Amino acid sequence: MKTSILEERQKSIGAGGAGRGLSCDQDSVSGSVSQRACVYCGARVVLNPITDAFHIVHGPIGCASYTWDIRGSLTSGSELYRNSFSTDLQERDVVFGGAKKLAAAIEEIVADYAPKLIFVYATCIVGVIGDDVDAVCRDAERRFGIRCIPVKSPGFSGNKSFGYKMACNAIMELILPHRLSEEAYQKEATGVNILGDYNLAGEMWIIENYLREIGVPVHATVTGDASYESLISAPRAALNIVQCAGSMIYLAGRMEEELGVPYERVSFFGVEDTTDSLLRVARRVGGPDAEDRARAFCARRAREIRPVVEAYRPHLEGKRAAIYVGGGFKAISLIRQFQSMGMEPVVVGTQTGRPEDYEVIRSLVGQECVVLDDANPAELETFMKLKGADILVGGVKERPLAYKLGVAFCDHNHERRHALAGFEGVVNFTKEIHDSINSPVWRAIA
């Protein structure tokens, strides 16, 4: 007889309201069919949007093949990041080592492209065969006067969020040499860096537009539409604003400690979060009337979209939503957005949420809501059915499951072609939820 919930998974499943802490940020349970990827994936998705870097995957072809141009991150500059570079290790390399091949590959790139920045991702087998990637990178930096930064991301060395951390370390390695003296920082620091937005469907640009509107300059965008030059300006920012905390809070912490740049968490999903975030940023780093400008700007934009959102509302009120996304910040924003639309979150889960994320999630949802970490298809199936979810918000892998169960779906993945952030995003999101949940096709299969 089939079970739906493995015993070892029980501790990662809870409900809304108070109660014992949820087990999270642990290794996935073997055989449970986790939806998570690996350390390498975590590192790759964070760094890949850096547009003018050579991203070399040191490993067998699969790792590069499955992540080629994986995100819908847009660029205003170089297209380089949309290529997939792999040392394509073969059996002989596994036996004799791949470091030489890597060094030769870097040399080839340097000979023809005068790169400023190379990232070298170490994958599973590199971790096992013991290629000294650090030494190869150091050597390349010394010989060619470029930045060549190793990303220590063997798949088995932890879970996906460990990969985020490795990416953050790589970024730190890039920007540390550009640190300002304390005195210079006090005198010169202005504006913000935007951390944890990946410019999916141009969302970084939307946020930058808003900040420009309220008079806050932006230095580095980390990492959506980032370039070498923009990244090394990061130490000049008076404030880091952190959207996707799961991937970037570690970098924000390190930058605060080592560069003295404080941070503020923000979210640009939903009218409330966007407004609240802009007001806080304006207060902290805007000029004297920045806050008033921000308030007026948000009020105007909210007013503009209200008629559209209100038109959809009667069609969405009372519907039940399931959420299964990558990180905690996204889940939290989605809960707020659904609640403001009059919808009820009935299942909320994430792949890599942290304890504090789950605390917030549980405080926001009702006691009937199932909250779960690192769920698998069997659990999603079980709870969506049990709770009568009308729609699932998730990524590519979850979509066919929802459809098979007759549940609508919202693509909140990194391949999407429409912006979900900011005021523009609220309209897109509302419309997408409606387009799926109220589609006539459900009548055909009912």
Which residues, 394 to 433, sit near another protein by CB under 8 A? 395-397, 399-401, 403-406
| Binding of residue 17 to another protein (CB under 8 A) | no
Q: Which of residues 90-149 bind another protein (CB under 8 A)?
A: 90-91, 93-94, 101-102, 104-105, 108-109, 112, 123-125, 127-129
| Binding of residue 232 to another protein (CB under 8 A) | no
Q: Which is nearer to another protein, 155 or 353 (CB)?
A: 155
Q: Which of residues 302-321 bind another protein (CB under 8 A)?
A: none
| Binding of residue 3 to another protein (CB under 8 A) | yes
Taking the complex as a whole, how short is the minimal distance between the CB of residue 369 and another protein, in angstroms? 22
Q: Which is nearer to another protein, 36 or 336 (CB)?
A: 36
Among 11, 15, 23, 68, binds another protein (CB under 8 A): 68
Taking the complex as a whole, how short is the minimal distance between the CB of residue 168 and another protein, in angstroms? 19
| Binding of residue 228 to another protein (CB under 8 A) | no
**What separation in angstroms does the CA of 77 have from each of 50, 81, 200, 263?**
10, 10, 15, 27
Taking the complex as a whole, how short is the minimal distance between the CB of residue 100 and another protein, in angstroms? 9
User: Looking at 29-37, 170-178, 274-282, 432-440, which segment touches another protein (CB under 8 A)?
Assistant: 29-37
Strand partners, 13: 372
| Binding of residue 53 to another protein (CB under 8 A) | no
Q: Which of residues 332-371 bind another protein (CB under 8 A)?
A: none
Q: Which is nearer to another protein, 101 or 147 (CB)?
A: 101
| Binding of residue 69 to another protein (CB under 8 A) | yes
Given strand 13-15, what is the order of strands in its sheet?
13-15, 370-373, 344-350, 320-325, 391-394, 408-411
Taking the complex as a whole, how short is the minimal distance between the CB of residue 39 and another protein, in angstroms? 8
Taking the complex as a whole, how short is the minimal distance between the CB of residue 219 and another protein, in angstroms? 18
Taking the complex as a whole, how short is the minimal distance between the CB of residue 255 and another protein, in angstroms? 27
Among 13, 24, 41, 148, binds another protein (CB under 8 A): 41
Residue type, position 398, single letter: E
**What does the alpha-carbon distance between residue 372 and residue 383 come to, in Å, rounded to a whole number?**
10
Q: Which is nearer to another protein, 135 or 441 (CB)?
A: 441
Q: Which of residues 141-180 bind another protein (CB under 8 A)?
A: 154-160
| Binding of residue 32 to another protein (CB under 8 A) | yes
User: Looking at 32-40, 138-146, 244-252, 297-305, which segment touches another protein (CB under 8 A)?
Assistant: 32-40
Among 12, 274, 277, 376, binds another protein (CB under 8 A): 376
Three-state secondary structure of the chain: CCCCCCHHHHHHEEECCCCCCCCCCCCCCCCCCCCCCCHHHHHHHHHCCECCCEEEEECCHHHHHCCCCCCCECCCCCCHHHCCEECCCCHHHHHHCCHHHHHHHHHHHHHHHCCCEEEEEECHHHHHHCCCHHHHHHHHHHHHCCEEEEEECCHHHCCHHHHHHHHHHHHHHHHHHHCCCHHHHHHHCEEEEEEEECCECCHHHHHHHHHHHCCCCEEEEEECCECHHHHCCHHHEEEEEECCHHHHHHHHHHHHHHHCCCEEECCCCCHHHHHHHHHHHHHHHCCCCHHHHHHHHHHHHHHHHHHHHHHHHHHHCCCEEEEEECCHHHHHHHHHHHHHCCCEEEEEEECCCCHHHHHHHHHHCCCCCEEEECCCHHHHHHHHHHHCCCEEEECCCCHHHHHHCCCEEEECCCCCCCCCCHHHHHHHHHHHHHHHHCCCHHHHHC
Taking the complex as a whole, how short is the minimal distance between the CB of residue 210 and another protein, in angstroms? 21
- Under 8 Å between Cβ of 273 and 227: no
| Binding of residue 84 to another protein (CB under 8 A) | yes
| Binding of residue 2 to another protein (CB under 8 A) | yes
| Binding of residue 386 to another protein (CB under 8 A) | no
Six-digit token pair at 435? 């387009």
| Binding of residue 443 to another protein (CB under 8 A) | no
Q: Which is nearer to another protein, 192 or 407 (CB)?
A: 407
Find where tokens 């799926």 sit. Answer: 436
Taking the complex as a whole, how short is the minimal distance between the CB of residue 144 and another protein, in angstroms? 15
| Binding of residue 181 to another protein (CB under 8 A) | no
Taking the complex as a whole, how short is the minimal distance between the CB of residue 45 and another protein, in angstroms? 11
**What does the alpha-carbon distance between residue 385 and residue 406 come to, in Å, rounded to a whole number?**
10
Taking the complex as a whole, how short is the minimal distance between the CB of residue 44 and another protein, in angstroms? 10
| Binding of residue 82 to another protein (CB under 8 A) | yes
Among 22, 24, 38, 369, binds another protein (CB under 8 A): 38
